Structure 1
Amino acid sequence: MSIYEYETKLFDSWIGKREGFVVDGVVSEEHYISSPLKLCFVLKEVNDEGGGGWDLRQFVRDGARSHTWNNISRWVKCISIFDQDVSWSELADITEEDRKDTLKSICAMNLKKSPGGHTTIKASFNEVVTEDKEYIHKQYSLYSPDITVCCGTGWEFRWALDLDKTEVYETSRGVKWFLNSEGKAVIMFAHPAARVQDSLLVYGLADAVREIMHNKAFKTDSQRLAFSV
């Protein structure tokens, strides 16, 4: 079966448990599979006071919106050529067409499938992650990403994957990360719409990815985990 078919099968068993369920995942399977670096972004929930019940994948295919998705587009542009510097002049102006073209190769999943408001209520969010832990784990296992970026969800996602006892590494600039069960990096970073200057958010992650990809611990431990599977 295709990734989309696996997603559909999983969501069919999950959707009745969450009012206003918003499906998510791989934006374009063709582009995700062919991408040199498969990227997965793990967010908290969609902001939709209208009640949800729609498809995040289609929303992103249609160009999404600048809030949140401009910075994710910038991240993708930088990470895809992580060994090269990208000047801010190349990233500053992101159009709807830029988002459509750049984001088609990603996977984006929310831990909480029911919509929330502008600010996540942490107690409610944690309760849902606990209840849906098995589903979250199953969904992530469909994607085998090369790099996963947790957008303010790092500790919760690590717990949902039953990796809360594994080592957490730290870059020289203080960005935390760990290895998933396939030995691939999962980076614990900020939400793309955090109240921080865009350039700092963008280059903060780009810098972390570059260091992690050259980190001896990452190379050694990821290879060890890969061969033990």
Structure 2
Amino acid sequence: MAISKEESVLFDDWKGNREGFVFDGVASELDYLNSNIKLCFVLKEVNDLGGGGWDLREFIKAGARSQTWDNISRWVTCIRHIKSNIKWSEIEKIDENYRKETLRSICAFNLKKSPGSHTTERATFNAVVAEDKDYIIKQYDIYKPDITICCGTGWDLRWALDLNDGEVFETNRGIKWFMNKQNKPVFMYAHPSARVQDSLIVYGLIDAIREVCA
């Protein structure tokens, strides 16, 4: 079954449980399947005080926005050229067209499908993830990513996927990661808009992926 069809079947069942359900997943199925490395980014929830009810996939295809998605675009570029030493000057300037072109090949989804504010309410988030655990497992299994990047969600995804008994590894520079059920690496990293210099956020992850995967 095609990814888009599997997503549709899953979301038709899931959306009734979450007011303001925000759809997400693979932006462009063809680009995702044809990419040299299938990348999945796992976030917590969308920041939307307007109540949700929209589609993150369409938002990404339209170019998303600079906050959060500039650094994800930089990550994608560097990961797809992991054996090259891409200079900061080559990826410092990111515009909407660059994001459109770069992000269409990725998968990105939120663990919590109902929207929140810019600061996650931990108790509410934990409760929703616990209630939706079976759905989260089913969604993640659709994509079969080669590399998963947890954007501040590493421990949450590990628990949601029933992988708490598995080993957590650490790179030489302290980035934690684990293997999913397909023996593919899942990196436990910071949110792309964390209050850290962009170049440090970008190359910290790339350094870890290069150590583990290259």
> In structure 2, what is the equivalent of residue 48 of structure 1?
48
Report the Cα distance in structure 1 between the residues aligned to 2:121 and 2:189, rounded to whole angstroms: 19
* Other structure's SS at 1:141 match: helix
User: 2:34 matched to 1:34?
Assistant: yes
Following superposition, the deviation at residue 74 of structure 1 comes to: 0.4
Following superposition, the deviation at residue 192 of structure 1 comes to: 0.4
Structure 2: 5+ residue stretches without partners: none
> In structure 2, what is the equivalent of residue 154 of structure 1?
154
> In structure 2, what is the equivalent of residue 226 of structure 1?
none
Report the Cα distance in structure 1 between the residues aligned to 2:201 and 2:83, rounded to whole angstroms: 18
Coordinate RMSD, CA, aligned = 0.5
User: 2:213 matched to 1:193?
Assistant: no
Structure 1: 5+ residue stretches without partners: 215-229
> In structure 2, what is the equivalent of residue 164 of structure 1?
164
Following superposition, the deviation at residue 47 of structure 1 comes to: 0.5
Following superposition, the deviation at residue 84 of structure 1 comes to: 1.2
* Other structure's SS at 1:164 match: coil
User: 2:118 matched to 1:118?
Assistant: yes
User: 2:147 matched to 1:182?
Assistant: no
> In structure 2, what is the equivalent of residue 219 of structure 1?
none
Moved >4 Å (runs of 4+): none
Give 2:158's aligned amino acid.
Answer: R
> In structure 1, what is the equivalent of residue 129 of structure 2?
129
Following superposition, the deviation at residue 107 of structure 1 comes to: 0.1
TM-score (norm 2): 0.99
Report the Cα distance in structure 2 between the residues aligned to 1:86 and 1:119, rounded to whole angstroms: 33
Match runs of 1:69-148 below 5 Å: 69-148=69-148
TM-score (norm 1): 0.93
Report the Cα distance in structure 1 between the residues aligned to 2:90 and 2:46, rounded to whole angstroms: 28
Give 2:51's aligned amino acid.
Answer: G
Following superposition, the deviation at residue 83 of structure 1 comes to: 1.5
Following superposition, the deviation at residue 81 of structure 1 comes to: 1.0
Match runs of 1:17-32 below 5 Å: 17-32=17-32
